[in-house]
Amino acid sequence: MNYLSLYSIAAIYIVSGVLHFIRPGTYLRIMPPYIPYPALMVSLSGAAEIVLGIGLLFPATRSAAAWGLILLLIAVFPANLYMATSGRFPDIPQWILWARLPLQGVLIWWAWLYT
């Protein structure tokens, strides 16, 4: 097993989850308007990232955590699509916003390695 890869993916999700609580405004800006209770959704997705990231670190929970991350990445894809199409991020080059979309596939593949 490549532990550098495992610890890297776990760290990415744990740090990202923590950022949901430290800088919730960033995540609220990408929330599509049709999603109810956006602040709650930001908190829930942040908590899920933290829990699932930690879950990757333990063999007993690794597979379930990886599947949970795959489901989470699918669930948050509309927010990434909204980010690319909403025009609410003029400070970020458009190509970066669109490049994030196929990156979701890479992240799903990376999580799948631990299923």
pLDDT digits (tens, 9 = 90+) for 61-113: 999 999 999 999 999 999 999 999 999 999 999 999 999 999 999 999 999 99
- Residue 53 pLDDT level (bands cut at 50, 70, 90): very high
User: Do residues 114 and 9 touch, judged by C-beta distance below 8 A?
Assistant: yes
Q: Which domain holds residue 34?
A: 3-112
Nearest to 5 by CA among 57, 46, 51: 57
Whole-number pLDDT of residue 21 = 98
Distance of alpha carbon 83 from alpha carbon 31, whole angstroms: 8
- Residue 1 pLDDT level (bands cut at 50, 70, 90): confident
User: Do residues 54 and 14 touch, judged by C-beta distance below 8 A?
Assistant: yes
pTM value? 0.94
Whole-number pLDDT of residue 96 = 96
Whole-number pLDDT of residue 25 = 95
Whole-number pLDDT of residue 12 = 98
* Total domains, the chain: 1
- Listed in sequence order, the residues at least 6 apart from 47 whose beta carbon sits closer than 8 Å to its beta carbon are 17, 20
pLDDT digits (tens, 9 = 90+) for 2-22: 999 999 999 999 999 999 999
Distance of alpha carbon 88 from alpha carbon 108, whole angstroms: 26
